Chains A and B, each alone.
Chain A
Amino acid sequence: QKEVEQDPGPLSVPEGAIVSLNCTYSNSAFQYFMWYRQYSRKGPELLMYTYSSGNKEDGRFTAQVDKSSKYISLFIRDSQPSDSATYLCASSIYNQGGKLIFGQGTELSVKP
């Protein structure tokens, strides 16, 4: 079993829809939870960052961590065609110096 599991999709939604992207993890020692966005033929860019559990909101994006169920979520409100990308979740235990465990990535397409 992989430490971080993510449904690879692809996921296709109409413009304006609410998107829910999810990951599960197995290591209860994980403290850092991140979402990266990767456009086609580009490197991943850090989108959302959470330490420990709870919610974090940034504009149309909300990241949620439920440590009791080991579940990581990213919600995108009012999705736009420019949100079409692959979204990668990643986790780490404390003080790993950047040695993250990545999910497989979910490919999202937002249709106009």
Chain B
Amino acid sequence: DVKVTQSSRYLVKRTGEKVFLECVQDMDHENMFWYRQDPGLGLRLIYFSYDVKMKEKGDIPEGYSVSREKKERFSLILESASTNQTSMYLCASEGGREKLFFGSGTQLSVL
């Protein structure tokens, strides 16, 4: 079974802090994604990566950056956290033929 592991289930941070969300997949997938999920807005794509050291902006990249130094690891960075970044963050990897496998999510609260 594909396993996508997100480092934290719940995270509470202060406004202005730099926040790192880590994601690791164990299936040697090339493509990885970061989404945020908000009530009434569904899943929105923040960033994605098709290879090591490659990154592409999704639909809502503002206020975020990403890092992909190793194939199995894709990190989402909030440079200066703001309250409107309080959300559920979901990492996914693509297992071929457009099939996404998601992690359990990180519920981030920014106070």
Contact = CB atoms under 8 A, between A and B. Distances in A.
Nearest to B33: A98
A42 B100 contact: no
Interface string B26-56: 0000110100000011110100101000000
A44 B99 CA distance: 12
Contacts, number: 63
A98 B92 CA distance: 9
Interface residues of A, number: 25
Nearest to B105: A43
A41 B105 contact: yes
A36 B107 CA distance: 19
B40 A98 contact: no
B62 interface: no
Contact of A34 (B4, B33, B99): B99
B50 to A, nearest CB: 6
B108 to A, nearest CB: 13
Nearest to A97: B31
Interface of B: 4, 6, 30-31, 33, 40-43, 45, 48, 50, 90, 92-94, 97-105, 107
